[in-house]
């Protein structure tokens, strides 16, 4: 086992002392980087990039060559599980992900297999192993999955949706069918994330992108309940280290207390809630990750620096903060602005930590 040279990300997730606030960016390997666009062109298409472990490793490491980030995140897609269930994932230019088959009936759901991580998603496991080898202890590697509710929306809608009319119709008209789908997806996510952990992922994040579009009651029953099941089923220690779990519900600020009760180690926050308010609500139960509006990266480096300073001040002194954007970095961002953001986090955060408390 290669010793980690920089473990401040893992330490922060476990609310342990760090020297500066660690930082990474959702979608940090992506279209804003010219080197990523070149790799994707060589791969032919997005899925060609995802399904080639060497190329997935290449693009995972690209942002680390530019920036002093404190974590790498596996380059993949949240829809690999539905694809492995036989729905036929593809991407239409300008329209996002689509499926060749759509889930519409109870019989469709009953026929769905639970993918085997090694057999059906082996290319992801190979990518994790390849990335861990190439990182060589430089920073930790994050694995991830979509949440059951988020995956279900794509499967029932057949792709992206603005109003989730088919998913919500199933939820209210046939809750038994929706619960069966979500339960199967939870089992699949548990197997998938545990496979990533055994392959070398050192922390995992569950992306609940569309949970915030549910009513308060439906969120608890149809999203959070299944994420709670996933957290309970995950491997929490491997290679002699704890494996932190991050739960991220976009627009989930209303439900922080119940999210903190799932057993997750950290909650990801979008930019619609003040991080200081969130900290006061969850106390020391979980770490917090976030939460700058990605659009701030369109502003000047000085404005970016001021917003970083504001968020750091709002969180305040002490442990348990991982700096991130409130959602993924967008394709039109100037890479130099992303660099200014990361530099500001490291430079401005030192005063919020006690260096004498950090174990060397």
- Catalytic positions are 27, 31, 40, 77, 154
Q: Is 327 annotated as a binding residue?
A: yes
**Would you say 330 and 294 are in contact if contact means Cβ atoms under 8 Å apart?**
yes
Q: Which residue has the tokens 């394709």?
A: 331
111 marked ligand binding residue: no
| Residue 154 counted as an annotated binding residue | yes
Nearest-5° Cα angle at 250, 55 to 214: 125
CA 216, CA 221: separation in Å to the nearest integer? 9
Is 123 annotated as contributing to ligand binding? no
Instruction: Specify the DSSP class assigned to residue 234.
Output: S
Q: Binding site annotation covers 274? A: no
Q: Is 346 annotated as a binding residue?
A: no
176 annotated as ligand-binding = no
| 44: Cβ contacts below 8 Å, ≥ 6 apart | none
Q: How far apart are CA 211 and CA 271, in angstroms?
A: 16
3-state secondary structure of 333: coil
Cβ contact 64:75 at 8 Å: no
- Alpha-helical segments (H) within the chain: 8-13, 34-43, 46-50, 53-66, 80-82, 106-110, 122-135, 148-157, 165-173, 175-199, 216-219, 225-233, 256-260, 275-282, 301-315, 335-349
Find out whether 150 is annotated in a ligand binding site: no
77 is in an annotated binding site: yes
Burial class (CB in 10 A: 0-12, 13-18, 19+), 283: exposed
Annotated binding site: 27-31, 77, 154, 209, 327
Known binding residues for substrate are: 27-31, 77, 154, 209, 327
């Amino acid at each position: 086992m290669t010793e980690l040279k920089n473990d401040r990300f893992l330490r922060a997730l476990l609310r342990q002392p760090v020297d500066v606030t660690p930082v990474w960016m959702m979608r940090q390997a992506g279209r804003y980087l010219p080197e990523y666009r070149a790799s994707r062109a060589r791969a032919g298409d997005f899925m060609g990039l995802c399904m080639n472990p060497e190329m997935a490793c290449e693009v995972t490491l690209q942002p680390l060559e530019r920036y002093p980030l404190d974590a790498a995140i596996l380059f993949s897609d949240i829809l690999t599980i539905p694809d492995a269930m036989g729905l036929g994932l593809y991407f239409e230019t300008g329209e996002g992900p689509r499926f060749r088959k759509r889930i519409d009936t109870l019989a469709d759901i009953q026929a769905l297999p639970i993918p085997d991580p090694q057999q059906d998603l082996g290319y992801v496991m190979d990518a994790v192993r390849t990335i861990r080898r190439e990182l060589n202890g430089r920073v930790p590697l994050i694995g991830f999955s979509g949440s059951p509710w988020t995956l279900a929306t794509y499967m029932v809608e057949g792709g992206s949706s603005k109003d989730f009319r088919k998913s919500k119709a199933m939820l209210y008209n046939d809750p038994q069918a929706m619960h069966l789908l979500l339960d199967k997806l939870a089992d699949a996510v548990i197997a998938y994330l545990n496979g990533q952990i055994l392959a070398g992922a050192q922390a995992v994040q569950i992306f609940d992108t569309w949970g915030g579009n549910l009513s308060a009651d439906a969120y608890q029953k149809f999203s959070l309940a299944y994420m709670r099941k996933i957290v309970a089923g995950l491997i929490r220690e491997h290679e002699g280290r704890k494996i932190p779990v991050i739960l991220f519900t976009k627009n989930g600020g209303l439900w922080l207390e119940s999210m903190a009760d799932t057993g997750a180690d950290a909650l990801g926050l979008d930019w619609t809630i003040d991080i200081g308010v969130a900290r006061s609500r969850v106390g020391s139960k979980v770490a917090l990750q976030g939460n700058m509006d990605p659009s701030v990266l369109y502003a000047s480096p000085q404005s970016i620096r001021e917003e970083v300073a504001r968020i750091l001040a709002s969180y305040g002194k002490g442990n348990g903060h991982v700096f991130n954007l409130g959602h993924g970095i967008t394709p039109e961002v100037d890479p130099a602005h992303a660099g200014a953001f990361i530099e500001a986090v490291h430079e401005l955060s030192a005063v919020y930590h006690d260096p004498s408390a950090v174990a060397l």
